[in-house]
Amino acid sequence: MNKIASFTTSSVGRKLLMGLTGFFLCSFLLVHLYLNLFLLKQDRGSTFDSYADFMATYPLIRPLEIILFAGFLLHAFVGVWLWIANRLARPVRYAVNRPSENSTLSSRTAFWTGTFVLIFLVIHVNTFFVSSRFFPSGISMYERVCEAFQSPLYVSFYLVALAFLAYHLKHGVQSAFQTFGLKRKKYETLITATALVFWLMLPIAFAVLPLYFLLAH
Amino acid sequence: MSGTMTITLNVWRQRDRNSEGRFALYTLPNVSPDMSFLEMLDLLNLDLVRKGEEAIAFDHDCREGICGTCSLYINGRAHGPLKGVTACQLHMRTFHDGDSITIEPWRAKPFPVIRDLVVDRSAFDRIMAAGGFVSVRTGGAPDANTIPIPKPVAEEAMDAAACIGCGACVAACKNGSAMLFVAAKVSQLALLPQGHAERARRVESMVAQMDAEGFGACSNTYACEAECPKQISVTHIARLNSEYLRANLT
Ligand code: FES
């Protein structure tokens, strides 16, 4: 027990937790995208809705939902914890500082891009998940998606959030590989390619859907 | 004098650990481009002493980039604008006539300012004392090459051993993290067979001491590698992370 406590409160241990939850959330994004792509199937959403029903009713999905929720909370909690501790490590700031000379903007702003993504998530979960799960009104998930994605305001917000997500993952994915000690010369190409799939291709694929609904309907 | 420069300096002055500090502005004429940055500060100090003012305290020893004592945050960069050099190896030819230069001490909670530009870096010594060594019997020096070590491993360990412990990694990191320093030490000894016996205990103790000193956690911005005068690679941080994971899983 002592070992687990010292591990999770140590700086390296917390980093590893960030990386682990980060990888887990990325894997969820893949599943989410896979299901979202059924929105493009020309069957007025019947395949998409059948998946949505499955997710809402199949008993084994419940514990997975809880694990996923815990994953988000842990990632955000450890992130805030690290951010506060890191701020405290420099109580007096530099009068002149030029961080752009030594690091990327995405790496320095991971906390803020993550915060925006979290705000988006609360709204997003409320729009699609909370209302359908806890206040079912006979409207199918496909209809909810159609409605939300026909509002230019919601679509704009969604796209901005995806841009923030992309920027967050631009730092996050390769950073998680580094945290797990995998970022070595021989894996460099593999890591760059994997990172590119997650930070660039995945958000673009997500962005296609609201644009399709907005423009095609 | 022809070819000399006039430089405006904005220097952090602080009496001691507990006093409030402030910036003081100095104009220094007759700066030769061939002077090192520290020689330029010597010139300024000479001037101040002549005027009966307190000289500016700054750390220095070897003045040839090997001891890691000099520690100046120059115009927003650890050790100044050049890559792979310490402040003592920086020359005034990097600057131009009429330039103004802001000089600050390293800023981090575990590196308190003792006076002007001098900070207390004994936190690094305590991290080293926690595990940055191999326990061996003293006695005659062992024969060279009695333990064969593959060349690439020896090279990698040597790269880590190039760390001079100046603290630029902490100074440049937005989180005030000492992870590049600790990683260099852990990595160097983890790579070599002599370091294997104490491998797990070492990484745990050094990380625990690093945290106890109040250094921040690495968030992989890699500013440390970019500012390190010895260009220690963040690959060593990756190794520190896996060493830590290994020590905790076994
Ligand atoms: S004074 Fe020794 S490295 Fe600069």
Sorted by where each starts, the structural domains of chain B and their CATH numbers stand as 5-114 (3.10.20.30), 122-249 (1.10.1060.10)
User: In angstroms, rounded to a whole number, what is the distance separating the alpha carbons of residues A149 and A156?
Assistant: 9
Q: Select from A103, A170, A178, A183 the residue whose CB has the most chain B CBs within 10 Å, as the one to mutate to test that interface.
A: A103
In this structure, what token pair is assigned to residue A154?
A: 């919601």
DSSP β-ladder status, B5-13 and B100-104: parallel
Q: How far is CA B233 from CA A179, B124, B179, B180, in A?
A: 14, 19, 11, 8
Asked if A13 and B244 come within 8 Å (Cβ–Cβ), the reply is: yes
**% residues pLDDT > 90 (chain B):** 93
Looking at residue A1, its pLDDT comes to 53
CA B126-B217-A194 angle, 5° bins: 135
Q: Does A184 touch chain B (CB under 8 A)?
A: yes
Which atom of ligand 1 is the closest one to the Cα of B59? 1
Q: Hey, what amino acid is at A46?
A: S
Q: B244 alpha carbon to ligand 1 midpoint, in Å?
A: 31
Q: Does A7 touch chain B (CB under 8 A)?
A: yes
Rg of chain A over Cα atoms, rounded to whole angstroms, equals 19
Looking at residue B144, its pLDDT comes to 81
Question: CA quadruple A139, A143, A145, A149: dihedral positive or negative?
Answer: negative
Specify the DSSP class assigned to residue B195: G
Asked if B107 and A93 come within 8 Å (Cβ–Cβ), the reply is: yes
Q: Is the CB of B63 under 6 A from ligand 1?
A: yes
| Each residue's pLDDT tens digit, A173-216 | 999 999 998 888 888 899 999 999 999 999 999 999 999 999 88
- Whether residue B1 has pLDDT greater than 70: no
User: In angstroms, rounded to a whole number, what is the distance separating the alpha carbons of residues B152 and B69?
Assistant: 30
Looking at residue B162, its pLDDT comes to 97
Of B102, B218, B235, the CB nearest to A184: B235
ipTM: 0.92
DSSP β-ladder status, B100-104 and B118-119: unpaired
Helix (H, G, I), strand (E, B) or coil at B64: coil
In this structure, what token pair is assigned to residue A26?
A: 């990325």
Look at phi and psi of residue B91 and say left if phi exceeds 0, alpha if psi is from -120 to 50, else beta: beta
Q: Does A171 touch chain B (CB under 8 A)?
A: yes
Phi and psi, residue B131, nearest 5°: 175, 0
Which atom of ligand 1 is the closest one to the Cα of B89? 4
Confidence of residue B2 (pLDDT cuts 50, 70, 90): low
Confidence of residue A25 (pLDDT cuts 50, 70, 90): very high
State the fold for domain A11-89+105-216. 3 helical TM bundles of succinate and fumarate reductases (1.20.1300)
Q: Are B235 and A187 in contact (CB under 8 A)?
A: no
Q: In what order do the strands lie in the sheet with B5-13?
A: B22-31, B5-13, B100-104, B73-74, B77-78
Nearest alpha carbon to residue B187 among B172, B205, B199? B199
Other Cβ atoms within 10 Å of B52 Cβ, number:
6
Q: Is the CB of B177 under 6 A from ligand 1?
A: no
Look at phi and psi of residue B77 and say left if phi exceeds 0, alpha if psi is from -120 to 50, else beta: beta
User: In angstroms, rounded to a whole number, what is the distance separating the alpha carbons of residues B23 and B73?
Assistant: 13
In this structure, what token pair is assigned to residue A209?
A: 């859907």
Give the contacts of B107 (CB within 8 A, at least 6 positions apart): A90, A92, A93, A94, B73, B171, B176
User: In angstroms, rounded to a whole number, what is the distance separating the alpha carbons of residues A95 and B23?
Assistant: 9
Which atom of ligand 1 is the closest one to the Cα of B88? 4
**Nearest-neighbour CA in chain A from B88: distance (Å):** 20
Looking at residue A136, its pLDDT comes to 75
Mean pLDDT of A105-123: 96
Residues of chain B contacting A100 with CB distance shorter than 8 Å: none
